[in-house]
Amino acid sequence: MSNSSRDSAEGAGWGSAEPGAYRALMPGRTEKLSWLSPRTLWAARNGVLASWFGDPTGRTRSRWVAQRAAAGAPADKVIGRDDPDRFSFLVIGDTGEGDDPQYAVVPGLLEAGRDTRFAVLASDVIYPVGSADDYGTKFFRPYRDYRAPIYAIPGNHDWYEDLGGFMRVFCDDAPPLAPEAAPRRFSRAWLRSLLWHRPRPEDGARLTEARELRPAPSQQAAQPGPYWAVDAGPVRIVGIDTGLLGTVDAEQGAWLREVSAGDRPKILVTGSPLYVDGEHHPCEIEGGGTVDDIVRDPAHHYVAAIGGDIHNYQRYPVDVDGRTVQYVVAGGGGAFMHATHTIPRVSVAGVTEDDFRSYPLRGDSLAFYSALYGRRLRMRRLFTLTEAEATAVIAERLGIRTGRAPGDGARVTRRTRIVAGLLGTARRPERRKRFRLPVRKIYTSVFSPGSATYSPPFFKCFLRLDVTPEAVRLRCYAATGNRAQEVDPPVEDEVTIPLG
């Protein structure tokens, strides 16, 4: 097994002279998606409109579910499979930008996942707005050589066109929803409808051609709706849809309680992680309660909760009444990288910094962003930090043992401290009160969403889960875009989860 980022800078992808072969998988021309483009921001406006004028997601989802039920989908939304008691599957989160970082994941995924029985896409299958015509280059083409079925749960971006493209691809080519009755004039719903982004009438015209990229019977999967459960071997995998704003409607909440009952060990897959960036986000259910209440209930036997939406890897082993539930963020499947260097020193739900795991390491994240903004601002000499300098300043500011030692000769200077502060690097808790300017909040909400890059290392990742009747082994594999990590994908984190 090759070195990981915890072993060496080369294992992290720094300094590699040989680029990966992933570009041979890409179409001849790819569109570079910019999250700072006014056109992109305007197309993705529905999330803002939902927060201002009311979120219609629950009602629209209920109509999709009713339509699928009328077409013969099982009422319990459980997908039965014939997997043996010992099998493996993949989880890939936040994939579909259709550019270098997404395709860079594919060679290692095919290598590490060649014997897996299926894959699950966890949130945001297609960026920026889930259009059906984007599935060719952002789903069917990148995964054309993965020979097993792929299930998916939608993320907020898949909802920006009311989930039409997602339902067509994953739910047996579901027909469009009939339009709802017009809302009362001058109501909040009426104002929302005036501004609401909708798909183009011709959207999906290229979908039939795109499907030919994954035509084999072994690759096909039809799921009962945007949320579902899969009974596979000894476990049940429960996938929930958190819509535009990261919540669950009452109808889906009632289903989740029903499908979670029983002694069978369960793994939750959700579009909104329950623990992320050192904070707890339990995910509200309309009408009362939270998703995490259901996960924590010992009668439901959840052993892990895996969420997308945040584009990196994080793991929190939380003690829940004497048993450990692994809460995982797994959104590193292709979209731009969300920083990890902005995560404060972890202390949440009994999980400390020593228990917490992330990828990329905070030092690598800071070095990545310093190089990115050095190029953008044409201030490379000031902004760009070596991975050793970035790791050293992370250790000082957070007071932690970094996942990889800084290396000989790495010094923390005034310049490195200034750059770390400007790029939102967290500080140790006892020092935070001295600084009133919310630099980290400004950085993560304003600068990070435009942070795509097209040269390795990309710091992408995917999960492989190996299931037996006794345990699940979860491994996080890295994808940097360099040849070394394609041929032998390094394991960045590994944990064995008992099923007893």
Percent of the chain, pLDDT > 90? Answer: 78
| Distance in angstroms (rounded) separating the CA atoms of residues 146 and 124 | 19
pLDDT of residue 175: 87
Q: Which residue has the higher pLDDT, 365 or 180?
A: 365
Cα–Cα distance for residue pair 188/463, rounded to 1 Å: 42
pLDDT of residue 462: 98
Q: Which of 150-164, 324-338, 396-410, 478-492 comes out lowest in average pLDDT?
A: 396-410
What pLDDT, on a 0 to 100 scale, did the predictor assign at position 1?
67
**DSSP states of 18-50:** SB-SGGGGS-SS-----TT-HHHHHHTTHHHHH
pLDDT for 437 equals 42
Answer whether residue 433 shows pLDDT above 50: no
Query: Does 450 have pLDDT greater than 80?
Result: no
Strand order across the beta sheet in which 228-232 lies = 78-80, 228-232, 235-240, 266-270, 302-307, 323-330, 313-320, 357-359
pLDDT of 417 strictly over 60:
yes
Look at residue 435 in the predicted model and tell me its pLDDT.
44
Q: Please say if the pLDDT value at position 336 is more than 60.
A: yes
Q: How confident is the model at residue 431 (pLDDT cuts 50, 70, 90)?
A: low
Strands (E), 321-470: 323-330, 347-348, 351-352, 357-359, 460-467
pLDDT at residue number 96: 85
| Mean local confidence (pLDDT), 195-223 | 93
Query: Of the candidates 423, 357, 350, 349, which has an alpha carbon nearest to the alpha carbon of residue 385?
Result: 423
pLDDT of residue 82: 95
pLDDT at 102 over 70: yes
pLDDT exceeds 70 at position 414: yes
**pLDDT reported for residue 442:** 47
pLDDT of residue 310: 95
Average pLDDT over residues 3-19: 90
Residue 446 has pLDDT above 60, yes or no: no
CA distance 240 to 247: 10
Give yes or no for a contact between 127 and 95, defined as CB atoms under 8 angstroms apart: no
Facing residues of 235 across strands?
Answer: 232
- Please state the φ and ψ torsions of residue 379, each to the nearest 5 degrees: -135, 50
The reported pLDDT for the residue numbered 186 is 84
**pLDDT of res. 452:** 57
Query: In whole numbers, what is the pLDDT of the chain averaged over residues?
Result: 91
Mean pLDDT over residues 389-398, rounded? 94
Its sign, for the CA torsion 364, 366, 368, 374, is: negative
Percentage, residues of the chain above pLDDT 70 = 94
State pLDDT tens for residues 125-152: 999 999 999 999 999 999 999 999 999 9
pLDDT tens track for 45-98: 999 999 999 999 999 999 999 999 999 999 999 999 999 999 999 999 999 899
| Confidence tier at 420 by pLDDT (50, 70, 90) | very high
Q: Give the model's pLDDT for residue 147.
A: 97
**Dihedral of the alpha carbons of 381, 382, 387, 389, in degrees to the nearest 10:** 120
Q: How far apart are CA 318 and CA 326, in angstroms?
A: 6
Tokens of 220: 């096909």
Per-residue pLDDT band for 491 (boundaries 50, 70, 90) equals: very high
* Per-residue model confidence (pLDDT) at position 124: 95
Q: Has residue 448 got a pLDDT over 60?
A: no
In angstroms, what CA-CA distances link 110 with 34, 215, 461? 28, 17, 13
CA distances from 257 to 229, 250, 266, 308 (A): 12, 11, 12, 21
Mean pLDDT of 170-195: 89
pLDDT of residue 434: 46
